[in-house]
Structure 1
Amino acid sequence: MDLTQQKLVKSEWEFLEVPVDVKEKNILNIIYNAYGNTGYSQNDSMSLLGFMKIGNDDDSFHYYLYEQYFQSLCKKIIKKFDLSIKIRRQTKKKKTIKKADIIRINSLSRKIDDVRDVIFEFILIENIYQFFNEGFNSKNYYSLTQLMKNKIPYTNKYILYFVHEVLVEYKSEVSKKKLIKNALSHIEKNIDLFRFADMKLYSHQADLFEATYRKGAKLILYQAPTGTGKTMSPVGLAKGNKIIFTCAAKHIGLQLAKALISMEIPIAIAFGCIDSGDIRLHYFAAKDYVKNRRTGGIFRVDNSNGEKAQVIITDIQSYLPAMNYMLAFNEPSDIIWYWDEPTITLDYENHPFHQILQKNWKQNEIPNVVLSSATLPNKEDIMPMTAYFNNKFNTNNVQEIISYECKKSIPILDANGNIVMPHFLFKKFKKLKKCARHIEKNKTILRHIDVNEMIKFIIYVNKKKYISGQYLLENYFDNFEDIEIISLKIYYLRLLSLVKDNWSDIYKYFQEKNRKMYDSVIKITTTDSYSLTEGPTIFLTQDVKKTAMFYLRVSNIPEDELDNILEIMAENEEYMLELEEVEKAEEHRKDKIGSETLAKDHSKNIKSDEFKIYQAYLKRVAYLKAKIQTIELSSKYIPNSEAHIREWSKEKNTSKSFSSDIEDDVVEKIMYLNVEKEWKILLLMGIGVFVKHENKEYMDIMKKLAEEQKLYLIIASSDYIYGTNYQFCHGYLSKDLINMTQEKMIQAFGRVGRKGAQSDYTLRIRDDALIEKLYTKEENKPEVRNMNRLFT
């Protein structure tokens, strides 16, 4: 991870000005608007009235559309399945619809067939039909219970009534057991539930906002899974507070800054600051400035006046200058210090950052503090630290927000491709019960419980009646609509603690039933590459270079092809080094001449010395670039390319297998750079190597490829996890990470599974000791020890 505390460069400022996409802007608007109204939600799904843009919720429109488009469908269902439901007009007063509205409705009628699959009422009707047609199908019934919770504007009242009557009258006909038995397809991967869901705050964001409403000094311990919006929560907080956002990784700060600018929230940036004189204001936050006489825009900002700044984004080193800067214009009680990932580097016994962290905490004057992390220690473990805060600010207001949002499951595989589950791991019940207690206190681990294997355990224990009556499925879940993946995982956790008397039989049964998800998972450049699906993979290791070289060696690239590539690279290197020298010499010459001379136009004066020198330079550059040969690797060595699949995976299901997609011009740029030849060959395979490079341009290109999901695989050290919000579908933890702490492991897991819930994700751990570490309580955690040592 790059923890270098440096000022923003021009390209980073330019990055901040690129607007976020429409989808992200909608999410930001929801977060912002929900501050002060945490129940705020938005749903852009279309009802029929919404599609027609009528904008009138009067019953006359609902009944007219019901008669025109829905009544015949409803009558067919009622007749075919002999239903006793009667749908009657809900009001006797018949308001006449204006002729202009009828014309609009009729003109849009021809287009309805093209959008039936996105019109909410048609989806409801289809689910009702399938529910009856497939013999009281539990999936369709469950879908209806969940879809009815959504707030889609102008949904037809008569269809809502029909759904309500079906849910009430046929509740007793539906099997909870069948729903739970098919929980993966019926609940977790039920596409209708995601397509039509309300957009609203995560519950932990709502809890955070409400916690900040309280008057007086407060310390909020904010623990929620990675990828659930923690770092965007300040967008909402900024609506009612001044914010100091502190992060160790510049990338995280830049993403928040970009979001805030897209929302037109005035910000300041404090990266690499020695004092407040190094702080820079964005134009939105500028109060005193000089205008450009020609354009009328802002020419020069007076950065010393930060009165308008609503949020200041700082690195670790710059916190105290940023704090003093904000205090110059605001009361301490009006400011929130939002510290993102405060446990970074605390897994090390000693680290250069520790002294800075301690100084920031001890000299902090802001009485409202949010510590935000997926792996923040529990309140009970850091009592010395919280006591110090209470004493310093004369308060006892320490609030813990713990969330275990679990919309998607990311199963763990061991080195042999077996799915890892608590009931597979522990032969002795005592250890199993300790594991259950540990997960109970660290519920974020629940997202790594595989749904299919969990359901098999639940069904077996219920079938054998190894638990008392109150814990049997039909008694435990009162309401059908309350059955969710997270409630099933809590139920599974409860069962683990209740099967003591029959544990030896249960353990033996599941040892015999344990299945492999894949026969092998480590040969990711050859036979196992097909298993890496739908998006990039991250491979975390202590020794990045060794791992990268291993995969280059085992990729079975013939020696003659490799030698040929290396030979071309060696020849290219001579020309690239000369090209680098020529370009540096030209830059040096320009600097020596000065800007005034360069400002003059020599392009038309072919007799001038400057023209001749510059033309000679261009000619030399063109000659050297022409000498640099194009390098190509046979596609059969590029994982999951068509040729590669024919070579290694033709008998496998490769419909979702993911391959790299690197543009030729990007490959060409990399080939021009002065970096190791091996890294260049790996790039041709779609593999990025993230190590500390002197060549900044190489790392910038790699980061861009990672952000755009162009790479097949990224090999990086475990510290890399804190510096990225990139999306990965699969992750590996290498054997050499045996000393990795439990908190850091969970942080690493958080890099995987940030795409849609419909994708398939896996975490693949190369050493069973790491798996056991995850599922058992870790005593004397270094993060806890260091927080209590440094922050008291």
Structure 2
Amino acid sequence: MDLTQQKLSKSEWDFLEVPTNISEKKILTMIYNGYEDTKYTNNEANSLLAWMKIGTDEDAFHYYIYENNFDKIIKKIIKKYELSFKIKKNKSSDKSLKKQDLIRIKNSSKKIEDIKQNIYEFILLNNAKIFFKKKLCPMRYYTLTQLIKNNVTYINHYVLQFVYWIIETYKNEISKTGLIKNAFEFIEKNTEVFKYTDMKLYEHQAKLFDSLKREGSKMILYQAPTGTGKTMSPVGVAKGKKVIFTCAAKHIGLQLAKACISMGIKIAVAFGCKDSGDIRLHYFAAKDYVKNRRTGAIFRVDNSNGEKVELIITDIQSYLPAMNYMLAFNEPQDIVWYWDEPTITLDYDDHEFHEILQRNWQQNDIPNVVLSSATLPNMDEILPMTRNFQNKFETNNVQEIISYECKKSIPILDANGNIVMPHYIYKDFKKLRKCARHIEKNKTILRHIDVEDMVRFIYYINKKKFITDEYQINNYFEDVSEITIINLKIYYLRILLLIKDNYDTIYKKFQENRARMYNSVIKITTSDAYSLTDGPTIFLTEDVERMGRFYLRASNIPESELDNIMKVMSRNERYMIDLEKVEKDERHRRDKMGTEDLGKDKSKTKDSSDYKAQQAYTKKVVELKAKIHSIELSQKFIPNSQAHIREWSQDKDTSTSFKSDIEDSIVERIMYLNVNKEWKILLLMGIGVFKTHPDKEYMDIMKELAEKQKLYLIIASSDYIYGTNYQFCHGYLSNDLMNMTQEKMIQAFGRVGRNSSQKNYTLRIRNDDLIIKLFTKDDNKPEVRNMNRLFS
């Protein structure tokens, strides 16, 4: 875990200036605007009127557009399928359009055929056509019910009439059971619904913003799943309050700083600060500064004046200096202390950070506090801590925001490749009931309920009528539009509690019919590599070096090839040591000459001793670099390369299998570094070893590769989860993580599936005891004990 309390390097400051991409900027803009209007939504899908840039919602325009573009399509559907639908024309539709509007519409109409597939009304009508063509297709009906919810501007009123008529007329013709039976395909993987969904705040973000607007001191316990925007919420808060954002992992702070700069939010940075004199302002936040006379750019900033700062980002060590700095320019009630992942290190009985955390809490003078974490203990577990806050700031305003929103399912696999579900792992109904109650209070676990296995269970229970009528699908779900994945998972939890009388039969049935997702999942450098799809994998273990060596041996690289690579590396290392010495001697020589002699530029005089020394140095460097040979590994040992697939998985579906993509220049840089030879070979395979290492450049390169999703696999310790928000598609928890707490396990799971909802994700746990720990209530959480001990 990179929790080093150090000031930002030049490269890290440079990183902050790299603009966010267009899609990220849109999300940040939505969060920023959402602070003042929590119902703010944006949808970039184009209706025909919006695409024409007419800019009006008058019915006359809608009817004219309908008659000229949609009427024929709808009449054709009506005639073909003998429908009784008739358009209801509004009186205002008879209004004549202006000549210039008619000209604009006519000119735009020439291009419609080329862009039809991207116009929202045509998308709606296409779903309607397929609905009838496939004899009342449930998937297309469901898609229509979801698409009409979206906030697309100027959708044609008359097309909507037709779509609403379809939904209302055929609502009793659509089998809810059939829809649920195919929920994975029809709902979970419905690309059209996902593609056109509104961009809006998560419900937990809207609640946070509303809560912070209330008068008086307040503490907000902010618990929401990883990957749902918690660490970007301060972008919105900064619109209405001054913010002190505290995080233990520098990487998280840098991502927020970059986002703020992209939005023009004025920030300061406090990393590795002993006092407020170490705080640095970004140029946007500088009030007093000196400009470069020649370029006009800011040359020197007076960092002591933070009057313009809207948000300051601090590490744990620097919180109190940052707090005092902000209080020098603002009133306490106008500031929010936003503490990200306050439970970091609290899974240890003792840690060097504990003293700092306690001091920060005791000396805090900011009366508005947000504690943000996916695994924050529930309020009733940390009453001594909340009472301490209430007494200090004389308030009863402690609010809990708990969210279980998630847009994707990430199933858990056991060591044998079986999907893990509560009804698979508990033979005893009492234990199953306790598990269901535990998940009800910790609904973030719902994202790990596999959709396909869940709907098989739901279908069977309904078919056998093991539950009363009120809980049967047709009665429980009043409308098809209510059947979402999250609602199905809550329904699944509910029926787990209602099957006591028949549970022996049910358990036996599903044990007999339990199928593996994969026959094997541990041979990730050979025969199981094909199963790691869509993006990188993270493998968490306590002994990173041992696991790295294990997978190097398990890759079946011939001893002769390994020996040859090792010999080349050893020779290269000798030459690299010589090269390092030559470069060091040259630096020493130039330093010894002094700036005065260098300023005379004697190096351009061929007879000078400096010129001759430089020539000798250049010649020696060229000679040594020529002796350093490039190192290559046979392609068949690089997971999911074409040669590797031919060797190990020719009979498998490898269309989405993920392969590393490491440029030769990166490999060359790594080969020059003073790190284990085994790690260098693993890198050639696309495997990065993340471990605290004295060679900072190695870790910087690994982080860069992880950021750009260039690595096939990252092997790291469990503490690494707090220092990253990289995107992973699969995750492993090793056998040696039995001391991992439930909260830390959920944090680890949150590293997987942080991006697209349409990819396939898995979590693969090598020890069944860890699985039981996840699904069982823990009455003695170390995080809870430590929060109450340190903060009360």
Other-structure match for 1:631: 631
Alpha-carbon distance in 2 for matches of 1:598, 1:61 = 76
Question: Alpha-carbon deviation of 1:69?
Answer: 2.0
Q: Distance in 2 between matches of 1:553 and 1:520?
A: 18
Q: 1:325 and 2:329 equivalent?
A: no
In the other structure, the counterpart of 2:577 is 577
Q: Does 1:224 align with 2:224?
A: yes
1:243 aligns with 2:243: yes
Partners of 2:338 and 2:560 in 1: CA distance: 56
1:301-352 deviation per Cα after TM superposition (whole angstroms, max 9, x unaligned): 1000101100010000000000000011111111000000000000001000
Counterpart position of 1:415: 415
* Pairing 1:111-190 to 2, within 5 Å after superposition: 111-190=111-190
Shift of 1:601: 4.4
Name the structure 1 match of 2:613: 613
What is the match of residue 386 of structure 1? 386
Instruction: Output the amino acid matched with 2:566.
Output: L
Contact kept in structure 2, 1:62 and 1:158, CA below 8 Å = yes
Distance change (3 Å), C-alpha of 1:58 and 1:606: farther
Matches within 5 A, 1:547-586: 547-586=547-586
- Matched with 1:261 is 261
Q: Check the 8 A contact 2:411/2:450 in 1, yes or no.
A: yes
- Partner of 2:587 in structure 1? 587
Report if aligned partners of 1:544, 1:689 keep a CA contact under 8 Å in 2: yes
Q: Could you tell me how far apart the structure 2 residues matched to 1:471 and 1:20 are?
A: 47
Q: By how many angstroms is 1:590 displaced?
A: 3.5
Please report the TM-score for the alignment, with normalisation by the length of structure 2. 0.98
What residue number does 1:60 align with?
60
User: Aligned pairs, how many?
Assistant: 792
Q: Is residue 62–residue 93 contact of structure 2 (8 Å, CA) maintained in 1?
A: no
Structure 2: 5+ residue stretches without partners: none
Instruction: Report what 1:671 is aligned to.
Output: 671
- Equivalent residues of 1:538, 1:730 under 8 A apart: yes
Q: Aligned residue for 1:445?
A: 445
Matched, 1:2 2:2: yes
Query: What is the letter of the counterpart of residue 310 of structure 1?
Result: E
Distance 2:92 2:354 in 1: 74
Query: 1:620/1:90 Cα in 2 relative to 1: closer, same or farther (>3 Å)?
Result: farther
Superposed CA offset, 1:344-385 (max 9, x none):
000001000000000000110001000000000000000010
Q: Which amino acid is 2:617 matched to?
A: Y
The residue number in structure 1 matching 2:349 is 349
Question: Which residue number corresponds to residue 214 of structure 1?
Answer: 214
Aligned counterparts of 1:589 and 1:229: Cα–Cα separation in 2: 53
Aligned residues of 1:341 and 1:371 also touching (Cα < 8 A): yes
Larger mean Cα displacement after TM superposition, 32-41 or 164-173: 164-173
Q: Residue 584 of structure 1: CA displacement? A: 2.5
Which letter maps to 1:489? K
How far off is 1:572 after superposition? 0.5
Tell me how far apart the structure 2 counterparts of residues 586 and 227 of structure 1 sit (CA, whole Å): 49
The Cα shift of 1:93 comes to 5.2
The match for 1:653 is 653
Q: 1:409 to 1:610 in 2, by over 3 A?
A: same
Match for residue 758 of structure 1? 758
Please show how residues 249-398 of structure 1 align to structure 2 within 5 Å: 249-398=249-398
Counterpart residue number, 1:466: 466
1:418 and 1:395 map into 2 onto residues whose CA distance is 50
Superposed displacement of residue 118, structure 1: 1.9
Aligned to 1:692: 692
Which residue is equivalent to 1:429?
A: 429
Which residue of the partner structure matches residue 722 of structure 1? 722
Residue deviations 1:422-461 (CA, integer Å, cap 9, x gap) = 0001010000000001001100000000001110111111
| 1:583, distance to aligned residue in structure 2 (A) | 2.1
How far apart are residue 110 of structure 1 and its match?
4.6
Equivalent residue number for residue 32 of structure 1: 32
Q: Distance in 1 between matches of 2:596 and 2:471?
A: 84
After superposing the two structures, state which structure 1 stretch, 148-157 or 594-603, moved more: 594-603
**Equivalent residue letter for 2:483:** I
Residue type of the alignment partner of 1:407: K
Task: Quote the offset at 1:92 in angstroms.
Answer: 4.5
| 1:76 aligned onto 2:76 | yes
Distance in 2 (alpha carbons) for counterparts of 1:287 and 1:92:
56
Paired with 1:321 and 1:553, the residues of 2 have a C-alpha distance of: 50
How far apart, CA to CA, are the structure 1 residues paired with 2:597 and 2:184?
70
Query: What is aligned with 1:48?
Result: 48
Q: Secondary structure of 1:290's partner?
A: strand
> In the superposition, relative to structure 1, how do residues 161 and 602 fare at CA in structure 2: closer, same or farther (>3 Å)?
farther
SS at match of 1:143: helix
Matched residue SS, 1:736: coil
Shift of 1:62: 2.1
Structure 2 counterpart SS, 1:72: helix
Q: Deviations over 1:494-541 (max 9, x none)?
A: 111111111111111110111100000000000000000000000000
User: 2:215 aligned with 1:195, yes or no?
Assistant: no
- Cα 1:223–1:588 change in 2 (3 A) is farther
Equivalent pair of 1:406/1:485 in contact (CA under 8 Å):
no
What residue is the counterpart of 1:490 in the other structure? 490
The CA deviation at 1:67 is: 2.1
Residue 736 of structure 2 aligns to a residue whose secondary structure is helix
- Structure 1 residue 619 displacement after superposition: 2.1
1:148 and 1:290 map into 2 onto residues whose CA distance is 56
The C-alpha deviation readout for 1:658-682, integer Å capped at 9, x for no partner, is: 0000111111111111111110100
Q: Deviations over 1:205-255 (max 9, x none)?
A: 011101101111111000000011000000000000000000000000000
- Counterparts of 2:710 and 2:644 in 1: how far apart (Å)? 17
The answer as to 2:517 corresponding to 1:517 is yes
SS of residue paired to 1:307: coil
Q: Does the 8 Å contact 1:582/1:621 carry over to 2?
A: yes
- The whole-number CA distance in structure 2 between the counterparts of 1:653 and 1:319 is 51
CA–CA distance in structure 2, aligned partners of residues 720 and 659 of structure 1: 22
Query: Post-superposition shift, 1:611?
Result: 2.9
The code of the aligned residue for 1:652 comes to K
Name the counterpart of 1:541: 541
Task: Provide the C-alpha distance between the structure 2 equivalents of 1:257 and 1:591, rounded to a whole number of angstroms.
Answer: 37
Q: Report the Cα distance in structure 1 between the residues aligned to 2:308 and 2:181, rounded to whole angstroms.
A: 56
Q: Is the 8 A contact 2:228 2:406 kept in 1?
A: no
- Over 3 Å counting, the alpha-carbon distance change for 1:281 and 1:775 in structure 2 is same
Whether the 8 Å contact between 1:286 and 1:302 is mirrored in structure 2 is yes
Query: Structure 2: how far apart are the matches of 1:184 and 1:403?
Result: 23
User: 1:703 maps to what in 2?
Assistant: 703
CA–CA separation in structure 1 for the residues paired with 2:790 and 2:518: 45
1:28 match: secondary structure: helix
Distance (Å, rounded) in 2 between the aligned partners of 1:92 and 1:772: 65
Alpha-carbon distance, 1:607 to partner: 3.2
Report the TM-score when normalising by structure 1. Answer: 0.98
Q: CA-to-partner distance for each residue in 1:264-287, whole Å, 9 max, x for gaps? A: 111000000000000000111101
Once the 2 structures are TM-superposed, how far is the Cα of residue 599 of structure 1 from its aligned partner?
A: 4.9
Q: Deviations over 1:718-744 (max 9, x none)?
A: 000000000000000000001100000
Distance between the aligned counterparts of 2:64 and 2:609, measured in 1?
83
3-state DSSP class of the match of 2:172?
helix
CA distance in 1 between counterparts of 2:44 and 2:596 reads 56
Q: CA deviation at 1:612?
A: 2.8
Letter aligned with residue 679 of structure 1: W
C-alpha offsets along residues 60-112 of structure 1, whole Å, 9 cap, x if unaligned?
Answer: 33222222221111111111111111124323553444444444444444543
Provide closer, same or farther for how the CA distance between residues 382 and 595 of structure 1 changes in structure 2, counting only shifts above 3 A: farther
Following the alignment from structure 1 to structure 2, what is the Cα–Cα distance between the partners of residues 330 and 433? Answer: 52
Q: How far is 1:154 from its partner? A: 2.0
SS class of match (2:293): coil
| Post-superposition offset of 1:56 | 3.0
- Letter of the aligned partner of 1:201 in structure 2? L
